[in-house]
Amino acid sequence: MKVTPTRLPGVVIVEPAVHGDGRGFFLETYHQRKYREAGIPDAFVQDNHSHSKKHTLRGLHAQLEHPQGKLVRAVKGEMFDVAVDIRVGSPSFGQWVGITLSGDNFRQLYIPAGFAHGFCVTSDEVDVEYKCTDFYAPGDEISVAWNDRQIGIEWPVREPRLSDKDKAASPLAALLDRLPRFEATPA
Catalytic residue numbers read: 61, 130
d(CA 50, CA 119): 11
What does DSSP say about strands 46-53 and 12-15: parallel, antiparallel, or unpaired?
Answer: unpaired
C-alpha distances out from residue 179 to 87, 88, 131, 136, 153, Å: 6, 7, 22, 17, 19
d(CA 39, CA 64): 23
SS3 assignment, position 37: helix
